[in-house]
Structure 1
Amino acid sequence: MDPARILIVDDEPFNLDLLEQELEILGHASVRAADGRAALELLGEGAYDLVLLDVMMPMLDGYAVLRAMKAHERLRHTPVVMISALTEISSIARCIEMGAEDYLPKPFEPVLLEARVRACLERKRLHDRELAHLETIEHARRRADDLLRAILPAAAVGELMATGTVKPRLFHDVAVLFIDLVGFTTWCHAQGPEAVVAEVQRLAEAFEAVADRHGLEKIKTIGDAFMATANLLAPHADPVTAAVDCVRDMVPLARDGSTPWRIRAGIHVGPVVGGVVGQTKFTFDLWGDTVNVAARLCALGDGCAVHLSGEAAARVRDGSAIHPIGKVFLKGKGEHEVHCCAFAQGHVPAPPAP
């Protein structure tokens, strides 16, 4: 058995000497306390594998020490063996009821002492291994929860943890925002993987912070594009204006890195279907015409601007910076009335369809 650190508590020096000698023979280190108060002070200063505690002591007896240990968060799991004369067997029973592991009768029998100490230390080691195992499980659970919250919106995580599923549903009046980096794919071909991932990470973190500040929910990153919504899982009083403001704040952040990116964005508002798909790898995603139109609008122009559908443009609180550019053909969607808001000089809006 591995060496243990054992606290021996007795007001008789002879008993302390005898216990100390026997424990040394067994290969254990011992610390002495001549009364209950000294024992509690030593317990407060360090950890012990076992306490051999006399019942009858002046000032603070074994009952009080045991009671204080069981009331203490850290000490309550430290095993205690009570020391008492055979004539005090009723006191021993009381101590066992209070949480003591075992008892050791006086006068000490070396064989019995070894058996009591060995059994208590083995139980403590089993308990410590169990606690360590439970802590590992709890750490893994917290890690899994953190990863789940990084993948799914907070409201979806709450529903998934409460019910085991996230029911698909139709959401009305949702502003859908796509942001794309102009020229990112071409740039990637000349970069190492570390540089590409680092730049995507920088922009993703910036986008998440800006989106959160304006009350948008980031849905996902798609290559060099970012998707967010307003008024989806959390209500928003002015979702389209918030989406425009989000793009406006992202323009300077995209220019702050080693590569000054131009960004372009698309916003549409309307109903969407949302839900969680996957069995081993969850993804929260959106479907519907609102999503598709916003994605097509994001592909217009050469950057530093946001293109809005007619429905979205009409919802911007201060629309003075929003300019109509006429009907534009969107792939797979036909002609749509499109409006534009530029955030930098040199922007060339997408031409209207002939």
Structure 2
Amino acid sequence: MDAAARILIVDDNEDNRFTLTRRLQKIGYRQLETAINGREALEKMMSRPFDLVLLDIMMPEVDGYQVLETVKKDVRLRHIPVIMISAADQLESVVKCIEFGAEDFLPKPFNATLLKARVSASLEKKRLRDQEEAHRIQIIAEQKRTDELLHAILPATAVRELKETGAVRPRNYEAVGILFCDIVGFTAYCDRNLPETVVGHLQALIEAFEALVERHRMEKIKTIGDAFMATSGLLRPVEAPLLTAVRCGLEMSRVAGTMAPNWEVRIGLHVGPVVAGIVGKHQFLFDVWGDTVNIAARLVEHGTPGSVVMTNAAWREIRSDCDARSLGTLNVKGKGPLELVEAFAVH
């Protein structure tokens, strides 16, 4: 028995209210309230929670039928079980009430054993329903959290494919823009500042970068330390993947300079074919591979803040839309001599 259950007794007959109150008190229920008609009952139900309502059918002003109908139509009240109070000759009306959603009925005159059994059963059913609803809400919250974690790990289109098919199929992609960005002097900055300061500033910067990537319809792939990697034209089509990445990169460099501690970043870009898919089991990751990725990653170290570095061959594809200056032929680790340019403006 739930002694803390809040029970509302609704009956226009004072003797009935008194009898039910006394018998429920003897059983052990302590939080009991009464109402003399349906209007008062509804006012009380609207103002505070109840676990059970004992409701007479025949009452002045607002009768039991009207109260029951109102309760079952109201999303705030319809979870409350209602036991109808009836005289022996009202059985047909009771059946009608149960069809409309009443939990049970109590015949007059009141039998103490039957009263205890039906009140206890109704409260137990409500407890189980409340428990089930709490479990449902918990499942929804866990599903939402899972979705949030998936979106933190995977691009949105990959999440959709994973949900629809149970997997993200590895694929070859052509003409994908690859952007790498890292922070100038980040290691020295870490040595000079508290961990909370470092993480707070880095978090703000990464969030700003993620917003820019989303605005340019690119995809964030991952962060590695202070390095940020994104793609253009991989999972979401864009008209000019490399030019889109240049625009995004220049804006990232500009925004970084406005954020504490006035970051400076280097950005390297390349465009070409890649392979993409998910690797890992317990901590899986959506990633991209290929020579295009390697070149973009190696170009970062040759950049200067405020511009983005790419090969001369890549720049020639977008030269009518992009201003750049030559860096000459430089030795790029793992690739040998390459003619590089750094773009500083997009028309």
Do both proteins adopt the same fold according to a TM-score greater than 0.5, normalized to the shorter chain?
yes
Counterpart of 1:167 in structure 2 is: 169
Counterpart of 1:63 in structure 2 is: 65
Q: Tell me, yes or no, if the aligned pair for 2:183 and 2:264 is still in contact at 8 Å.
A: yes
Counterpart of 2:81 in structure 1 is: 79
Secondary structure of residue in 2 paired with 1:299: helix
Q: Tell me, yes or no, if the aligned pair for 2:243 and 2:318 is still in contact at 8 Å.
A: yes
* CA displacement, residues 68-127 of structure 1 (integer Å, 9 cap, x when unaligned): 222221222211111111222222222222222211110112232122212211221222
Counterpart of 2:201 in structure 1 is: 199
Provide the aligned C-alpha RMSD in A: 2.1
Q: CA offset at residue 220 of structure 1?
A: 0.9
The counterpart of 2:273, out of the listed 271, 274, 277, is 271
Counterpart of 1:5 in structure 2 is: 6
* CA displacement, residues 165-211 of structure 1 (integer Å, 9 cap, x when unaligned): 11111112111111111221233234333233223212211211222
Q: Tell me, yes or no, if the aligned pair for 2:254 and 2:306 is still in contact at 8 Å.
A: no
Counterpart of 1:350 in structure 2 is: none
Q: Tell me, yes or no, if the aligned pair for 1:6 and 1:29 is still in contact at 8 Å.
A: yes
Counterpart of 2:213 in structure 1 is: 211
One-letter amino acid matched to 1:93: V
* CA displacement, residues 200-259 of structure 1 (integer Å, 9 cap, x when unaligned): 212211211222222322111111111111111111123222222222222233233443
Aligned length: 343
Correspondence 1:14 to 2:11 = no
Q: Tell me, yes or no, if the aligned pair for 1:269 and 1:311 is still in contact at 8 Å.
A: no
Correspondence 1:255 to 2:260 = no
Secondary structure of residue in 2 paired with 1:189: helix
For residues 169 and 81 of structure 2, what CA distance do their matches in structure 1 show?
50
Counterpart of 2:120 in structure 1 is: 118
One-letter amino acid matched to 1:8: I
For residues 2 and 313 of structure 1, what CA distance do their matches in structure 2 show?
78
> What is the TM-score when the length of structure 1 is the normalising length?
0.89
Q: Tell me, yes or no, if the aligned pair for 2:10 and 2:17 is still in contact at 8 Å.
A: yes
Report the CA distance shift for 1:39/1:320 in structure 2 as closer, same or farther (over 3 A): closer
The gaps in structure 2 that reach 5 residues or longer are none
Deviates more, 1:6-15 or 1:298-307: 298-307
The counterpart of 1:51, out of the listed 37, 50, 53, is 53
Report the CA distance shift for 1:95/1:105 in structure 2 as closer, same or farther (over 3 A): same
Q: CA offset at residue 290 of structure 1?
A: 0.9
For residues 267 and 126 of structure 2, what CA distance do their matches in structure 1 show?
62
One-letter amino acid matched to 2:214: D
One-letter amino acid matched to 1:11: D
One-letter amino acid matched to 1:295: A
Q: CA offset at residue 286 of structure 1?
A: 0.5
Secondary structure of residue in 1 paired with 2:317: coil
For residues 160 and 260 of structure 2, what CA distance do their matches in structure 1 show?
39
Report the CA distance shift for 1:287/1:52 in structure 2 as closer, same or farther (over 3 A): same
One-letter amino acid matched to 2:207: E
Correspondence 1:229 to 2:231 = yes
Q: Percent identity?
A: 49
Correspondence 1:182 to 2:191 = no
Report the CA distance shift for 1:268/1:106 in structure 2 as closer, same or farther (over 3 A): same
* CA displacement, residues 263-320 of structure 1 (integer Å, 9 cap, x when unaligned): 1111111111111222222211101111111111112145443111234312336555
Secondary structure of residue in 1 paired with 2:193: coil
For residues 297 and 223 of structure 1, what CA distance do their matches in structure 2 show?
17
Q: Tell me, yes or no, if the aligned pair for 1:79 and 1:101 is still in contact at 8 Å.
A: yes
Q: Tell me, yes or no, if the aligned pair for 1:241 and 1:317 is still in contact at 8 Å.
A: no
Deviates more, 1:265-274 or 1:195-204: 195-204
Correspondence 1:239 to 2:253 = no
Report the CA distance shift for 1:320/1:67 in structure 2 as closer, same or farther (over 3 A): closer
Q: CA offset at residue 40 of structure 1?
A: 2.3
Counterpart of 1:151 in structure 2 is: 153
4+ aligned runs moved over 4 Å, structure 1: 317-320
Q: Tell me, yes or no, if the aligned pair for 2:268 and 2:303 is still in contact at 8 Å.
A: no
Secondary structure of residue in 2 paired with 1:228: strand
Secondary structure of residue in 1 paired with 2:130: helix
Secondary structure of residue in 1 paired with 2:44: helix
Counterpart of 1:324 in structure 2 is: 326
For residues 101 and 320 of structure 1, what CA distance do their matches in structure 2 show?
73
Secondary structure of residue in 1 paired with 2:21: helix
One-letter amino acid matched to 2:31: A
